[in-house]
Amino acid sequence: MATLATRKLSEQFEEFLKTVTNKSGEYVYRSSISQLAGSGGKSLVVEYEDLLRYDDELAKRLLEEPDKTLESFRTAAFETLRSESPSYADHVARLLAVRIKGIPDRVPLRKVDTSHIDKMIAVSGMVVRSSELRPLMTEAAFVCEKGDLTYQKQDDMLMKKPLMCETCDSELPAGQLPQFFDVNAEGDIVNSARPGDRVVLTGVMRAVPDYSTGQLKMRLFRSQIDCNHIEVIGKEPEQVQITRDDEALIRSVASRPDAYQKLIASIAPAITGHEPEREAILLLLAGGVATHLPDGTKLRGDINVLFVGDPGCLVADERVVLGNGAIVKIGQVGNEHLQPLNVQVLTGEGGGRRAMATKFHMYRSHRIVEILTESGKSIKGTPNHPLLRVRNENGRMVRSWHRLDRFKVGDRVAVVTGFPCTIREFVRTNFVAVERHKFGPKFNARLPDRMTPQLAAFCGYVLGDGWISNDSQRFGFVVAEPELDIMPMLLSVVKEVFGLEPNISRRVTKGRKVPLHYVHMSNKDIAANLSFLRQKRVPDMVLRSGNSVVSSFLTWLYEADGSVFAKGRDSRAISLKARDIELLRDVQVLLLRFGIHSRIVGNALLIRRGEDMSRFAKHIGFASAKKKAILKSLNADAQNFGRVHRQRSERIVSISRHGPADVYDIEVPDGHRFIANGTISHNTAKSEMLKFAAQVAPRGLFASGRGSTAAGLSAAVIREKNVFMLEAGVVVLADQGIACLTGDSEIYLGGSLTPIETLWERGVPLAVSASGERELRSIYAQVPSFEQKGKKDVRGVARRISRKYLSGKVVELTFSSGLKLKVTPEHMVRRHTVNPRWIRADELREGDLVKTVGSFFGPNLRLAISDRQAYFLGSVYGDGYV
């Protein structure tokens, strides 16, 4: 075969069109070209793979030089068509186009950059906006000053004017400003895709100057694609071919009594729970058989599903164990909602199994449920957050996921007995000197750049028996005289780590017999950088450090505020006392690094089991000679203690509810779990559920947080750059698919963006009628109402009322006036407190004050209503909503 250098491109393409055959030996494109005249077609669709097999150099040139190559390709198609049908070829000469389909390497929209300019690429996505159909000029006639006509072909969006008239010497001015579009489609591919369609576009990437009429031309450019081919992804149900084997399998599954439940369980099987959502997706896939009545009415069309709600999450302070053993508060794992992650976490499944967390979630102001276990472990999260429950069924331990709000006191939750740590490097401190004026004392000490065992030892002791002044100028610690043997070690650490010579004073405090030795240091740079110790929590740098640093920190923290006693069988323990219980919980999780089980009792963290005492003596220990001796004696006795099985579950001793708080979660696609505060917590499955739905329902749109379009739930016609655009909303984009929004998603309603959660809580009724279970009627009546903005009673207008049959529970509220109100548990009532807020009726407690109206109507108000209407108004005020 001749090379491109020795033959014209058009000749190469013409030979390609005339010679390429399929597996059956039939000419593929010669047959397609011959059919154009009969069908009235104007486009020839070419598979890129066929061109690649024919001549890879030719295929590569098409991608690298699409403008020149496509024109040669079109010429070849025209010549081939003219040989088949000369008259039709002349008729479509200007409109004939070659469309390239099936370019294998699709470029993600986010990765289209300047390297793709003037190259042919394939991108996939969803059509979200389309302009109105307008005529396109293909040839323009220009008139010069003398009245002579000049014709100029127009082959792109920029108007081309002749440089000069053939009969005149004067030049014409330059052309007008171009029109800008994201994707330009011309010819018979116009209207081949509509908003909501997922498509694969083949076209040439262009860089267009980003400026409009009346503005200066900037150095900024916007990207657009000159479309060559549009492929709508997905098949209609009637296009799917079912083989006999498929039919036999379907009938076999359908004959089972539990077929429906098995189908539900097959939806996203790796995700636990979410049965209603699984069933919704299943019904979406199955859809309904459309019935067309004689009068044209269509019944049981395609099903659309709307998901509303947020996934279960934890409060910011809950401690998550990363894959290397580092402990990080979940609120610090990410910075923004739906932030991509690439962080390993331990799953708590044994053997140090790890999985990758891929996405970070954060949600504002959610109600909190807290469970407390027998060892003092605490988990705070949203009511729907699942933990792993452990129960005994006929002598067999069964584990299953359970929502926080469904746990009961006495239930057991799974916990870990320990976890490995592989961290070897010291964590950076990021300490910096305090900014100074030009004149003044210079910094004359040292700021350590790493969290070393020496620095951790100092932090541990100061956290227990030290202080950092509120003005961050001074710091120090105190040593009791019986443990004075630790003073040289502490002074050595101060000099080695900070390069300071402290001042020491001895005092006997009134009411105490034991003298105390106070060590004072004054250095605002060091004090300012150690100010985190005022919080009386284990520093984040220690939580993220390796075992050598953690061991040193715990040794000196226990030396400062810990004790060890061995006074008999029931009085043997290693104890750590603290005013802040969260400090004890920090230490409780750190001890699991070494497989040490501990229990919080009051304001103390106790280690009582013999095996755990031995581990403490081996990995942590004390610094003073006195405590070392007692621990050595206790460790010797511990060898004779009865062995206790490692505790892999703990009993819940209390469940409490708290006010709203910001909550966070992570996604762990492989494993769907992580360790939080020593318990095994389920990850959020929202995105994974949506990803599965996207695979089985490719026309679905999934909007989370503020990700929905400004068009809102339906659609909007907007004017942009003097062009009317149809912008698809969530429901339009989810046609034959799923529309998923979280509670904080914003929709376009009444001229402004309104959170859907607010819309939901305000009780805007849905215009539905479900088999007589719910009725909706439109009304217009003035009723007493409450203006939230003005915080006052007003006369409002009730426009709609709904009635439904309820089979669930009813909450009866009895007020001090003797009046009673029966509502559903989720009915919202405004509680009157210092900060009034709307709460569910089932959250009210005896003694709460509820907002009521002062009067029904003013004395001069006249309403021409019937008794029936008056009865209706009373019903709205009692059991309805406005």
Identify the three-state secondary structure at position 760: helix
Q: Which of 336-340, 487-491, 565-569, 765-769 has the highest mean pLDDT?
A: 487-491
Query: What CATH number was assigned to the domain covering residues 314-415+648-683?
Result: 2.170.16.10
Higher pLDDT, 322 or 803: 322
- Across 220-243, average pLDDT: 71
Q: How far apart are the first and last CA of the chain?
A: 79
Asked if 508 and 515 touch (Cβ cutoff 8 Å), the reply is yes
Helix (H) or strand (E) holding 226: strand 221-232
CATH class in words for 453-638? alpha beta
| CATH 2.40.50.140 location in the chain | 109-232
Predicted structure pTM score: 0.56
Give the per-residue pLDDT at 631. Answer: 92
| CATH 3.30.1640.10 location in the chain | 9-101
Give the per-residue pLDDT at 235. Answer: 46
- pLDDT at residue 683 tops 70: yes
| CATH 3.10.28.10 location in the chain | 453-638
Give the per-residue pLDDT at 801. Answer: 44
- pLDDT at residue 180 tops 50: no
Dihedral, CA atoms, 639, 642, 643, 649, nearest 10 degrees?
Answer: -130
- Across 872-882, average pLDDT: 52
- pLDDT at residue 791 tops 80: no
The one-letter amino acid at 436: R
What confidence tier does 40 reach under pLDDT thresholds 50, 70, 90?
A: confident
- Across 185-196, average pLDDT: 77
CATH architecture of 9-101: 2-Layer Sandwich (3.30)
Give the per-residue pLDDT at 802. Answer: 52
Q: What is the pLDDT of residues 412-450, one digit of tens each?
A: 999 999 999 999 999 999 998 887 666 666 677 889 999
Give the per-residue pLDDT at 439. Answer: 62
Q: How far apart are CA 372 and CA 390, in angstroms?
A: 15
Give the per-residue pLDDT at 214. Answer: 46
Higher pLDDT, 642 or 626: 626
- pLDDT at residue 852 tops 80: no
Q: What is the pLDDT of residues 286-316, one digit of tens each?
A: 665 566 666 666 655 555 556 655 667 899 9
Domain 109-232: give its CATH superfamily.
Nucleic acid-binding proteins (2.40.50.140)
Indicate the average pLDDT of the chain.
Answer: 76
What confidence tier does 114 reach under pLDDT thresholds 50, 70, 90?
A: confident
- Across 320-325, average pLDDT: 94
Work out the angle at residue 480's Cα, subtended by the Cα atoms of residues 618 and 485, and round it to the nearest 5 degrees. 55
Give the list of residues 6+ apart from residue 2 with CB closer than 8 angstroms, or none: none
- Across 208-229, average pLDDT: 66
> In Å, how far are 24, 225, 615, 710 from 110, measured between CA atoms?
41, 14, 52, 20
Q: What percent of the chain has pLDDT over 70?
A: 66
Higher pLDDT, 379 or 350: 379
Q: How far apart are CA 464 and CA 730, in angstroms?
A: 56
- pLDDT at residue 759 tops 80: no
What confidence tier does 177 reach under pLDDT thresholds 50, 70, 90?
A: very low
- Across 583-589, average pLDDT: 96
Q: How far apart are CA 627 and CA 559, in angstroms?
A: 8
Among 235-249, 491-505, 668-682, 750-764, the least confident range: 750-764
Query: CATH fold of 254-311+685-761, please?
Result: Rossmann fold (3.40.50)
| CATH 3.40.50.300 location in the chain | 254-311+685-761
Report the half-sphere exposure of 208 (CA within 13 A, side-chain side): 22
- Across 69-73, average pLDDT: 90
